[in-house]
A and B are shown apart, each in its own frame.
Chain A
């Protein structure tokens, strides 16, 4: 008698077929709408994420906390070595600290001499990481700050040291950061001593690729890579990492930010370079006002 469970649905077979068809049509329909009008559906997606994830932090935070504690507990095994290592590092740091202090004073003096004003527009909002992309082929994280905090699409996100990615998708209280390692990420950067402008494009590995390099001879592993500010996406000069050579002899970038553990990210408020709307004051009609007063007769000629 227990066998009959699968026959119980026989009466509903035609109805069921209609339901299956409708369901599939809905799902594939959403997919095609997404393909045609991606921004609208992506907004729907960020709304869904925005409503779901913040309510789940109470469940997720303890679990990730526990796992991190377990990781830390493992490291107790090598407590002694770590201690020694830290002591050595501390000694080295003391030397660096001294150097840094001296440099800071020197820098302050020089800035004072030059009357430099540091850019006050570059402030930041700090958010903590709620979730990652969950998919093996996408590299992104979700922050707990969003449109409510004034976050906008395209702003740069960095951890304490280097650039991590940029905002792509903003909900009301959450924002998604597309990491530099994501296959869809591609940003203009400068390699520093040689000053070459290249593109840094992610390919789902820990070290993103360098593309469109004009003169590979001028670039060595260890060169600094900073954002170039081209295209007005990022402010220029944010540290990204160092050039490294992969075993297949390609140039890649070892990122300065600690990608293994992203916990807090800074989102830089950046409105982009101001557009130049009119001709410069030195050229054209308005320049006449700046010229020393012309002799009277010349002016009269101009009036005629």
Chain B
């Protein structure tokens, strides 16, 4: 049982694509077309990060890249930059999946917050270097606490609703053991 069954993989890939498409659609709904006081949390980012922390083996890289790129296109962001940065973040998390399994949830939240803030700062810095018009860094960083708040329900949905859970941490020493 070293390989997951193909049907499980396909099913989860479809599930992830469906959720991502739903999030983008909800964002695109013309419910309130005026400017808002608070920027909305980035639910798509929450979804990707929460999933990759839990089951990186069920989230193919190319699927994430493609979905994020389409989202970039639809949501009027500079195409490619944000999706590239998020792909980098998921790769970083994939490398650390063994310590992540043993990590308490509070620490995980703090780490996710750090990642989101880093992503936003790097995104801002690249756009600033290339003289692309963009909102101020403060306005963008306002999204971080809101996105972390949205991270909790997303994790709850994945954990309880869809059964995307962390696998048990590997005890002891050896090739598969947690290197903390």
* B25→A31 contact, CB < 8 A: no
Min distance, Cβ A202 to any Cβ of chain B, angstroms: 9
Question: Which of chain B's residues has its CB closest to A30's CB?
Answer: B80
Contact B70 A137 (CB under 8 A): no
Residues on B with beta carbons closer than 8 Å to the beta carbon of A134: 24, 27-28, 74-76
* Inter-chain contact B2/A183, CB cutoff 8 Å: no
Do A8 and B33 contact each other (CB < 8 Å), given the known contacts A49-B74, A135-B77? no
Whether B31 and A64, one on each chain, are in contact in the complex, defined by CB atoms closer than 8 angstroms, is yes
Query: Is A184 a contact partner of B133 (Cβ separation < 8 A)?
Result: yes
The interface size of chain B toward A, counting residues with CB under 8 Å, comes to 55
Given A34-B78, A137-B39, CB of A262 within 8 Å of CB of B84: no
Q: B residues within 8 A CB of A68?
A: 31
If A20-B91, A64-B30 touch, does A6 touch B57 (CB 8 Å cutoff)? yes
B residues within 8 A CB of A194?
Answer: none
Interface status of A19 (Cβ within 8 A of chain B): yes
Interface string of A52-71 (1 = CB under 8 A from B): 11001001100110011000
Q: What chain B residues lie within 8 Å of A8 (beta carbons)?
A: 2-3, 57
A4: chain B residues at CB < 8 Å are 1-2, 176
| Contact flags A13-34 to B (C-beta < 8 A → 1, else 0) | 0001001100110111111001
Q: With an 8 A cutoff between CB atoms, is A76 at the interface?
A: no
Known: A19-B62, A206-B35, A259-B35. 15 other contacts (CB 8 A): A5-B167, A19-B61, A20-B91, A27-B69, A28-B81, A31-B80, A31-B84, A45-B73, A59-B25, A67-B29, A136-B36, A136-B39, A183-B133, A260-B34, A263-B30
Question: A: which residues have CB within 8 A of B?
Answer: 1-9, 16, 19-20, 23-24, 26-31, 34-35, 41, 44-45, 48-49, 52-53, 56, 59-60, 63-64, 67-68, 129-142, 179, 181, 183-184, 204-206, 259-263
Q: Can you name 14 A-B residue pairings with CB atoms under 8 Å?
A: A3-B176, A5-B57, A5-B167, A20-B87, A24-B84, A26-B80, A35-B78, A44-B73, A45-B79, A59-B25, A67-B31, A136-B143, A137-B139, A139-B35
Interface set of B (CB-CB < 8 Å, partner A): 1-4, 24-36, 39-40, 56-57, 61-62, 65, 69-70, 73-81, 83-84, 87-88, 91, 97-98, 130, 132-135, 139-140, 143, 167-168, 170, 175-176
